Structure 1
Amino acid sequence: MHFFTDQTGNTISLANLPKRIISLVPSQTELLYTLELNEEVVGITKFCVHPEIWFHAKTRVGGTKDVKFDIIEQLNPDLILANKEENVKEQIEYLSGKFSVWVSDVEDMKSACDMILQIGSMTGKDAIANDLTNTIIKGFSELHSLVPSTKIPVGYLIWKDPLMTVGGDTFINNMLDACGFQNVFASQKRYPEITVEDIRNSSCKVLFLSSEPYPFKQKHIDELQKELPDVVIKLVDGEMFSWYGSRMLLAIDYFECLVKEVSLICSH
């Protein structure tokens, strides 16, 4: 019997390497694909869009907030991967009474890499997980050499009606910091509601509109630009900022281009 303590402090036991895995977290689903666990993964959520081949082939067990217990029980998993923030506490507690449920709690790159290594250890994919985290750490280290010496004050919107942003205790904030951006709402917690007036009264020079969870479009830039004429407003790929796991590899090149673009804009 092997014991593993998750990122919330709970310990689970696995008699053998898991052969029937369910992932309730999109970014961790993509990680499982990177770890070459194609045969082992039997269930994913309807939001697990990467990789596309799994999205069409794997059994869907509901959404991240409304898992289907009957489908999960039919799949009879020996390991379920969940996340403290993305999944509903009561649903995870119910599943924990029947199955081994390992819960991640990712707030920064360090805890993201720890998550990757622990999942690699549980699934017998230590070598791939180690290579992945080393590449991520190296890539972000090289990115750091490109960021401006003076942090650019930015805002980051994840929702509309009401407008919602990200606080300083989020993974997105950590990614903004890695790019050399100063989150103007970093003093707040989690995902606070704000107003256009709050943005106007901040030191925000650049406002990022994320592609998820709210799908901001050009029309939203046009609307906000009328109220914030002195702020540069730009659409960004929300997956790059919020998907911890193997997507962080793609995020490095994306951030490099974004940093160069924003630095050029702000230098004029």
Structure 2
Amino acid sequence: MKIISLVPSITETLFDFGLSTDEVIGRTKFCIHPADSVGNVAVIGGTKNLNIAKIKALKPDLIIANKEENEKLQVEELMKDFKVWVTDIETLEDNQEFISELGARLNKQALALDINQKINSVFIDVNFSQKRNVAYLIWKNPYMTVGSDTFINQVLEKFGFENLFKDQKRYPEVSVKELQAADVIFLSSEPFPFQQKHIDELQLQLPEKEIILVDGEAFSWFGSHLMKAGDFFKKLSQQF
């Protein structure tokens, strides 16, 4: 089966299922994992600006998209000519079902079960002793955070954190004043590439707050990525 992935975390998951570059024939420019394989896969644009003509030329048997990551009109255009699987993953349960279904489609059910078990083990093995109120920032100018109906919120809650903005939806804008209610502030490495200088800048406005840089992929990438994030979460837990 020749597959085109329109989402970075899906591309990584396909390779974690043991597919080769003869089977994963197209990916976006943001698909960076696994580094030793994606360089040999054709780039078909970005997640929200696909090169439809190039995708058609590759003649895939299946295209895997995502409701949030990809543009509806472009996906519908591809549906006219190809089989497109539009994933919709907001919860950890959704993610488990996605992996199981992918395993069934690839006839790799045992591997799917193993991946799901490894993801579950990450949450069992890592203990955050202090369950604190967290503001998780994904963007700057304006600052943006995550609401209750996001995958990031699910991961936070699974580890016992309280999302300060759980009463809101999707990715709301927030003010520095609102951040004062947080016990700790996480600055994500993506989609905005927060760095130490951004901690320093925000610390001037919130001198009493603990502000920590976190791996955005660990918190936001659905699919198989979570099973490899255990070391990051263990290191993070040592700060609590």
TM-score (norm 2): 0.96
Q: In structure 1, what is the equivalent of residue 156 of structure 2?
A: 176
Mapping of residues 187-226 of structure 1, within 5 Å: 187-200=167-180, 202=181, 204-226=182-204
Matching of residue 21 in structure 1 with residue 8 in structure 2:
no
TM-score (norm 1): 0.86
State the distance in 1 between where 2:31 and 2:17 align: 16
Q: Which moved more, 1:250-259 or 1:51-60?
A: 250-259
Matching of residue 59 in structure 1 with residue 39 in structure 2:
no
List alignment gaps of at least 5 residues for structure 1.
1-18, 264-268
Q: Which moved more, 1:180-189 or 1:119-128?
A: 119-128
State the distance in 2 between where 1:129 and 1:193 align: 37
- Offset at residue 45 of structure 1 (A): 0.4
State the distance in 2 between where 1:138 and 1:213 align: 27
State the distance in 2 between where 1:248 and 1:234 align: 20
Q: In structure 2, what is the equivalent of residue 33 of structure 1?
A: 15
Do the aligned partners of 1:158 and 1:209 also contact (CA within 8 Å) in 2? yes
Q: Secondary structure at the match of 1:173?
A: helix
Identity of aligned residues (%): 49
State the distance in 2 between where 1:255 and 1:168 align: 21
State the distance in 2 between where 1:221 and 1:142 align: 29
TM superposition outliers: structure 1 runs of 4+ over 2 Å = none
Q: In structure 2, what is the equivalent of residue 235 of structure 1?
A: 213
State the distance in 2 between where 1:72 and 1:95 align: 8
Aligned CA RMSD, in angstroms, stands at 1.2
Q: How many residues align?
A: 239
- Offset at residue 98 of structure 1 (A): 1.2
Q: In structure 2, what is the equivalent of residue 256 of structure 1?
A: 234
Do the aligned partners of 1:104 and 1:115 also contact (CA within 8 Å) in 2? yes
List alignment gaps of at least 5 residues for structure 2.
none
State the distance in 2 between where 1:135 and 1:112 align: 13
State the distance in 2 between where 1:142 and 1:56 align: 33
Do the aligned partners of 2:190 and 2:217 also contact (CA within 8 Å) in 1? yes
| 2:166 counterpart letter in structure 1 | A
| 2:7 counterpart letter in structure 1 | V
State the distance in 2 between where 1:83 and 1:214 align: 20
- Offset at residue 142 of structure 1 (A): 3.2
Q: Secondary structure at the match of 2:102?
A: helix
Matching of residue 94 in structure 1 with residue 77 in structure 2:
yes
Q: Secondary structure at the match of 1:74?
A: helix
Instruction: Identify the structure with the greater strand proportion.
Output: 1
Do the aligned partners of 2:122 and 2:229 also contact (CA within 8 Å) in 1? no
Q: Secondary structure at the match of 1:233?
A: strand
